[in-house]
């Protein structure tokens, strides 16, 4: 039985951002599915996010769980629930990493410098507490790295797909009790303008994780899908 790859997106996005990587993995013969998290829904909890990941993982078979950015707060909790018998590996791509016993908000207050300097300029807040990116601010701030590595058309398409983002998942104490005893690969994007690469190489790294550096910015699924799929292909070959 093949190992399923479950791809979990970050803030303001949905599963469609993984489409280039899904296509690359499918071409290599892998079973890959992208999750749609309920992060655009005001009040969506960690449990709500977890349900979406577990649904994608299915009821049997081995999985590799891949979390990008905010998705990194969810995939270790899913691995804890599924157990090492089902989880072949965790892959954290430019990811936020939960600290057992704390919320993400508490962690960022205790560890300044997790987010890249200058990130968030132009971000706006709705009355319901969700945040959103005006198109110009998204292109200039959130997707600054995409603009440097890709085309203006790609940036416009990415901006058009953005959703509002609720932050309940970052204010709740993570359900993670201890890091799952599974292979963990942490991908640090060397030119990341969202999550500071230095944090990814040091304090953000899970003890025992394999740290892999990938050239480019925060969104390799958009700008470097072939390279990212190749990295996941190598993890899947080892898992299989």
Per CATH, the architecture of 4-116+167-239 is what?
A: 3-Layer(aba) Sandwich (3.40)
Looking at residues 165-187, what average pLDDT do you find?
A: 96
Predicted pLDDT of residue 153: 85
Where do the structural domains in the chain lie, given as residue ranges? 4-116+167-239
Average pLDDT, the chain: 94
Predicted pLDDT of residue 120: 94
How many Å is the maximal CA-CA distance in the chain?
Answer: 48
Predicted pLDDT of residue 14: 97
Q: And the tokens for 228?
A: 């990212």
- For residue 27, name the pLDDT band (cuts at 50, 70, 90): very high
Predicted pLDDT of residue 159: 93
Q: Is the pLDDT of residue 79 over 60?
A: yes
Q: Where are the alpha helices (DSSP H) in the chain?
A: 19-27, 46-57, 75-82, 104-110, 135-137, 144-149, 152-160, 168-171, 197-201, 220-223, 225-239
pTM of the model: 0.96
Query: Which residue in 216, 234, 226, 227 sits closest to 5, CA to CA?
Result: 234
Looking at residues 31-59, what average pLDDT do you find?
A: 97
Predicted pLDDT of residue 204: 54
Tally of residues, the chain: 240
Predicted pLDDT of residue 205: 61
Q: Is the pLDDT of residue 29 over 80?
A: yes
The rounded distance, in Å, linking the Cα atoms of 66 and 211 is: 14
Predicted pLDDT of residue 32: 98
Query: Which residue in 181, 176, 189 sits closest to 216, CA to CA?
Result: 189
Q: Give the pairing of strands 63-68 and 124-125.
A: unpaired
Q: Is the pLDDT of residue 77 over 60?
A: yes
- For residue 68, name the pLDDT band (cuts at 50, 70, 90): very high
Per DSSP, the three-state class of 210 is strand
SS3 content of the chain, % helix, strand, coil (to 5): 40, 20, 40
Predicted pLDDT of residue 1: 59
Looking at residues 149-169, what average pLDDT do you find?
A: 91
């Amino acid at each position: 039985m093949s190992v399923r790859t479950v791809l979990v997106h970050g803030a303001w996005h949905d599963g469609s951002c993984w489409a280039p990587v899904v296509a690359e993995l499918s071409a290599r013969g892998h079973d890959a599915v992208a999750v749609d998290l309920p992060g655009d829904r005001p009040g969506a909890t960690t449990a709500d996010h977890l349900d979406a990941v577990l649904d994608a993982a299915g009821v049997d078979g081995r999985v590799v769980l891949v979390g990008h950015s905010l998705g990194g707060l969810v995939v270790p909790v899913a691995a804890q629930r599924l157990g090492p018998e089902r989880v072949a590996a965790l892959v954290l791509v430019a990811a936020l990493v939960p600290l057992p016993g704390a919320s993400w908000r508490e962690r960022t207050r205790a560890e300044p410098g997790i987010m890249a300097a200058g990130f968030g300029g132009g971000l706006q807040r709705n009355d319901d507490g969700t945040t959103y990116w005006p198109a110009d601010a998204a292109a200039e701030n959130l997707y600054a790295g995409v603009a440097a590595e890709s085309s203006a058309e790609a940036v416009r398409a990415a901006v058009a797909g953005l959703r509002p983002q609720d932050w309940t998942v970052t204010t709740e104490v993570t359900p993670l009790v201890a890091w799952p005893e599974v292979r963990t690969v942490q991908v640090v994007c060397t030119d990341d303008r969202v999550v500071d690469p230095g944090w990814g190489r040091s304090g953000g790294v899970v003890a025992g994780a394999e740290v892999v550096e990938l050239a480019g910015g925060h969104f390799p699924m958009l700008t470097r899908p072939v390279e990212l799929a190749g990295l996941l292909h190598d993890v899947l070959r080892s898992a299989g």
